[in-house]
Amino acid sequence: MLLRQTMIIALSLIIATGCNTDDADSSQRQPLMRNAGDVAPADWQPLPSAPALDAETRAARLRILGDTGEDPSRVKLWWAGVSTFIVAIGGHLVLLDAWEVVGVHKGYVPVSRDDLVALKPEAIFIGHGHFDHAADARYVASRTGAALVAGSSVCDAARADAAANPSARPFACLDLGTDAGNPAGTVFPVRVFRDLADIQIIKHSHSAADPASLLQGGMPLAYTPELIPFLLSLNTDVSETLSFLLTLPDDGGVGQPEGGTWAYHFRVGRFFLLWNDSTGEMPENDPQADAIRDAIRSLPECVDVHVEAARSTLFIPNHHDAWFPVIGGGAAAYETQWRAALNTLPQPPQLDYVRDPEDYLKVRSFTVNDPSGRGRERAGNDSWHWPGTPPTAISDPLSRLVTARPSRA
């Protein structure tokens, strides 16, 4: 595995000022229609405003998250292993990826697929369909009715799971199509929720080891993997092991995802969230990479993808926890080289290095409409709050850095 000195962001948060978000209001005056089955982006009908919580769901959210996710003035994120995040945004609760970290070990991450069901997410956004990102999307969607936003292969897997489950609830899938059917840099602007701005969905690229990058100044990612979590949380459940093995070929196995790799750009108030769970090589003067960069540059007003001009302030790596032996080395295995790589950037962002297992389900909270703050405040022992506008970036360790900064508007 290689970590290039010039890196690209796979998962990023962008908080910015001066951006127009009035377009979320106009859709609330339109009649609400219902999605059914698999729906193309152009035909998607916005989901309703966040529903009132029943007592069971409220109790489950308080038990698992310590929060109901109903406060529209804050965006809150809880890391649930690998690149799965539970996100409260605009009063809605959604999932970014969906996989209970289980296989060789079980119970290391303190949230199960049944916990994800109990949270009653309204939508599940999938970056790509490999097992470590999407294996439980089908389980959660067919048991909650949550809308699924994903490539065709993930939608198909969810339909197959629902067909085998007599008690499955109906759910809609916003079907983004296939990897072959969408050129890199394709952008689908979709009003997923009636009371939120359009979500920009961008066809991205999947990460891959590239030995040739050593000849271009790349830095080898050498580390000693952490094995103790697997021994202490060893999975002895045969049925879980078999289920895990059956997911390994999902969406092309370890190759290029058949359903594509997708980045999602969310907006609420002055808060921007750009999330992607994998990013491939982005060389200069490469048609595919240039198309992706152009797509990111086209995001509404508030993203700058030039490393040299960046004023990013916070960087949160992920997908570096002990999720699979050797491949998932554990946070400590990567930290030294992450810090060294970030320090080679002209304007390196502040690093908020999440560690497993202590950062699992630790809330990170952002105020969406407060343009005055500049620092980060620690709130208790389990929460980080940004009271203002600093842009934030999160990535996985096999990625390269893109940057973000507040709007100049």
pLDDT tens by residue, 52-78: 999 999 999 999 999 999 999 999 999
pLDDT band of residue 313 (cuts 50, 70, 90) is low
Of 16-30, 128-142, 316-330, the range with the lowest mean pLDDT is 16-30
* Residue 146 or 206, more confident: 146
Report the predicted TM-score, pTM, of the whole model to 2 decimal places.
Answer: 0.86
Which structural domains are found in the chain, ordered by start? 2-221+251-395 (3.60.15.10)
Kindly report the backbone phi and psi dihedral angles of residue 331, in degrees, each rounded to the nearest multiple of 5, phi listed first. -55, -40
Q: Which of 92-106, 218-232, 373-387 has the highest mean predicted lDDT (pLDDT)?
A: 92-106
Of 32-36, 92-96, 324-328, the range with the lowest mean pLDDT is 32-36
Q: What is the pairing mode between strands 147-150 and 173-175?
A: parallel
Q: Which long-range contacts (CB under 8 A, 24 or more apart) does 330-338 make?
A: 330/225, 330/226, 330/229, 330/356, 331/355, 331/356, 332/226, 333/223, 333/224, 333/225, 333/226, 334/221, 334/223, 334/397, 337/3, 337/219, 337/221, 337/222, 337/223, 338/3, 338/397
User: Taking all residues of the chain, what is their mean pLDDT, rounded to a whole number?
Assistant: 80
* Residue 274 or 387, more confident: 274
Q: Which two tokens stand for residue 162?
A: 């629902």
b/e code 285-302 from CB counts within 10 Å (16+ = b): eeebbebbbebbeebbeb
State the Cα angle at 124 between 120 and 127, rounded to 5°.
155
Q: Which two tokens stand for residue 387?
A: 């009271």
Distance between CA 197 and CA 190 in Å, rounded? 9
Specify the pLDDT at position 217: 60
Ordered strands of the 123-125 beta sheet: 38-39, 173-175, 147-150, 123-125, 92-96, 85-89, 74-79, 363-367, 383-386, 377-378
Q: Which of 13-17, 32-36, 283-287 has the highest mean predicted lDDT (pLDDT)?
A: 283-287
Residue (of 133, 120, 124) closest to 84 by Cα position: 133
Distance between CA 408 and CA 313 in Å, rounded? 16
Q: In sequence order, what are the beta bridge partners of 6?
A: none
Q: Which residues contact 98 (CB under 8 A, 6 or more apart)?
A: 84, 113, 116, 124, 126, 133, 134, 135, 136, 137, 139, 140
pLDDT at residue 331 greater than cutoff 60: yes
pLDDT at residue 339 greater than cutoff 80: yes
